[in-house]
């Protein structure tokens, strides 16, 4: 945790273990109201097989906002409507059906 009196904010870092990748949360000390915002910032996760992960998530009812048509990147929607990026580990997989022929289902 790091508090900035001058900036009037706190940064809180979470990781699964020391030295592991961190998630940084920002808490602004002002009383202003927050909305969903523009969601410019988002979480991204590297996966071993983007097609298998998307297939599993879709079977569980998760909305695929941007299908992994290119074998490299996809976006899903969390329960709060925020986008989460999925990235294929070690580059892109070859295009595969049904993902290769899917049209955009979201705003991408």
DSSP string, 61-93: T-EEEE--TTSSEEEEE-TTS-EEEEEETTS-P
Task: Tell me if residue 85 is catalytic.
Answer: yes
Q: Which of 85, 94, 97, 103 is catalytic?
A: 85
Cis-peptide into 5, omega within 30 deg: no
Report the catalytic residues: 85
């Amino acid at each position: 945790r790091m508090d900035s009196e001058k900036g009037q904010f706190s940064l809180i870092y979470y990781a699964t273990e020391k030295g592991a990748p961190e998630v940084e949360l920002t808490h602004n000390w002002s009383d202003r109201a927050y909305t969903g915002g523009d969601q410019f910032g988002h979480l991204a996760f590297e996966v071993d097989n983007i097609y298998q992960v998307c297939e599993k998530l879709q079977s569980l009812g998760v909305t695929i906002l941007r299908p992994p048509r290119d074998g490299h990147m996809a976006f899903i929607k969390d329960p709060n409507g925020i986008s989460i990026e999925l990235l294929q580990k070690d580059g892109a997989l070859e295009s595969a059906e049904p993902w290769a022929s899917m049209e955009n289902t979201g705003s991408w």
